[in-house]
Amino acid sequence: MESEQSADTPQWGIVDLRRATEAAGVALWSWNVETDRITMDEHGFCLWDVGPQGEITFEDLSKKIHPADRDRVRNAFSATRALIGAYDIDFRIMCDDEVRWISARGQGDDAGIVGLVMFGIFLDVTDRKQAEEAHELLAGEMSHRVKNLLAIASGLTTIASRSAISAEAMADDLIARLSALGRAHDLVRPRPKGENAALVGDLISVVLAPYDDMGAFSGRVRVSVPRIATGDGAATNLALILHELATNSVKYGALSVGTGTVDITCTVRENNVLLVWTEHGGPPVVKPGEMGFGSKLVTRMAAQLGGSYSSDWSANGIIVKLDMKKNRLAA
């Protein structure tokens, strides 16, 4: 028995429904499971960055799918006919150099199928996916930092114990180092817009002060850099890199033993700035088999400074080169 509509019930037309889907950013599609033909509305063709065509197949669209997702998407679409109820799958497509995230949604188990044609929608979920990736990166970075801080605290305790003549003296030394570490840690956070940035030399002094047995630049940590200013964003990125290098040195490198030293030099040629971190007197170092989170972080920060990061795992100690653009460093 069909329900009766009252006079006040709105009568939706095709134009109204089209406006609703456009406002929601929804692209409509249909798939003939026998001929493999895909039909989409105008928004669908724009979303996939393909010109409107009379004939387009799922195989044609598959060429736009990111290679890492292609087999997964093909298998998922083939399985939709056996899937009971609603389904959705997220995947990436390539539009020239741009990567877009698409969510395909519909009904499985041949629900509502008409003439071997299935129906569904595409949604552009790029912003959501990028936000999720940023959140995962931040969570991973925070976990990495917490683990490093615990290792640093242990390393600083060892450093403070080397020259301590009493428990009170060791406590005072350790408190001073941990306070310096806190000041350094303030640099590896997003800086408020408009906050004054530091000179490169001052930034190195603050970040590395907790690790020098005799105070910054006077003992085991030796720095030779010209007067170069950093911008708000660049200061955070450079501090992250220095903090990561110092952490690794305390855990595995020259600063993990009492005889080790670190030299930091910097040269400027036109728009290129080359910072070199050289360790001496530490234990033998071995290049890791896989790039860890710290190395990935340093590589990403270096790229944001317009440059690159490289390391030489010398038997005498690791040598790290950070090549940056002067104009990016000042930004």
What domains does the chain contain, in order, with CATH numbers?
Answer: 14-124 (3.30.450.20), 132-329 (3.30.565.10)
pLDDT for the residue numbered 271: 87
Residues of the chain with pLDDT under 70: 1-24, 52-55, 79-85, 108-115, 141, 144-152, 155-156, 159-160, 162-164, 173, 176-198, 212-218, 232-233, 291-294
Q: Of the candidates 240, 186, 178, which has an alpha carbon nearest to the alpha carbon of residue 209?
A: 178
C-alpha angle 119/122/125, rounded to 5°?
Answer: 155
d(CA 264, CA 226): 11
Residues 6+ apart with CB under 8 A from 202: none
What CA–CA distance (Å, rounded) separates 142 from 132? 15
How many helices (H) and strands (E) the chain has is answered by 10, 10
- Please report the DSSP string for 26-95 in residue order: EEEEEEETTT-BEEE-HHHHHHHT----S--BHHHHHTTB-HHHHHHHHHHHHHGGG--SEEEEEEEEEE
Half-sphere exposure in the Cβ direction for 55 (13 Å, CA): 2
Q: How many CB atoms lie within 10 A of CB 126?
A: 16
Q: What is the pLDDT of residue 293?
A: 61
CA dihedral 327, 328, 329, 331 (to 10 degrees): 90
Residue for token pair 């004939």: 55
What pLDDT sits at residue 1? 41
What is the identity of the amino acid at 292? Answer: G
pLDDT at 321: 92
Tell me 307's DSSP state. Answer: S
Could you identify the residue written with the tokens 């200013």? 229
Give the pLDDT confidence score for residue 275 in this predicted structure. 92
Q: Residue 302: name the closest of 329, 277, 263 by CA.
A: 329
Strand order in the sheet with 221-224: 221-224, 261-269, 272-280, 317-325, 308-314
Nearest to 204 by CA among 225, 182, 175, 177: 225
Determine the length of the chain.
Answer: 331
d(CA 54, CA 43): 15
Task: Pull the structure tokens for residue 44.
Answer: 């669908």
Amino acid at 241: I
Q: In what order do the strands lie in the sheet with 26-32?
A: 38-40, 26-32, 117-124, 98-107, 86-95
d(CA 240, CA 233): 11
